[in-house]
């Protein structure tokens, strides 16, 4: 669902969280939320971690606090249509994730001993 930059996805998520009210997002007092420094949708000096990494951390927290179980839950997340952060849940952009998945699933050449690559 989420196209564009991770910062803009965080902004859309915060707007959905606060009932589509820009004033409520600006006045948000939830300092414990990992998305709090990124709620404006722009890069700010207080935001030191890349937004995609923060989205990954948020998704792990959302799905559970135990790392091994939460990873599987994030992978199988069904909130595709309702969550603005869904496309960035792996900690990278969708384009990078697609390239990595293609590289992992592509057929590998079979190299037998005594034969050279062509």
What tokens does 89 get? 């849940």
pLDDT tens digits, one per residue of 15-26 = 999 999 999 999
- Helices (DSSP H) in the chain: which residue ranges? 6-17, 22-26, 51-63, 67-75, 94-105
pLDDT tens digits, one per residue of 82-103 = 999 999 999 999 889 889 889 8
CB 25 within 8 A of CB 39: yes
Average pLDDT, the chain: 86
pLDDT tens digits, one per residue of 63-86 = 886 666 788 888 888 998 899 999
What tokens does 50 get? 């890349």
Cα-based angle 85, 24, 45 (whole degrees, multiple of 5) = 65
Report pTM: 0.78
> Which pLDDT does position 117 carry in this prediction?
65
**Is residue 57 classed as helix, strand or coil in its secondary structure?**
helix
Domain boundaries, the chain: 6-101
């Amino acid at each position: 669902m989420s196209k564009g930059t991770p910062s803009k996805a965080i902004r859309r998520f915060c707007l959905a969280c606060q009932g589509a009210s820009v004033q409520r997002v600006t006045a948000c007092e939830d300092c414990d939320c990992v998305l709090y420094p990124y709620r404006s949708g722009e890069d700010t000096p207080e935001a030191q971690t890349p937004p995609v990494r923060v989205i990954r951390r948020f998704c792990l927290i959302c799905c559970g606090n135990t790392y091994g179980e939460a990873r599987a839950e994030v992978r199988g997340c069904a909130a595709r249509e309702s969550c603005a952060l869904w496309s960035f849940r792996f900690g990278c952009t969708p384009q990078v994730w697609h390239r990595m998945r293609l590289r992992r699933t592509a057929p590998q050449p079979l190299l037998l001993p005594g034969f050279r690559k062509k």
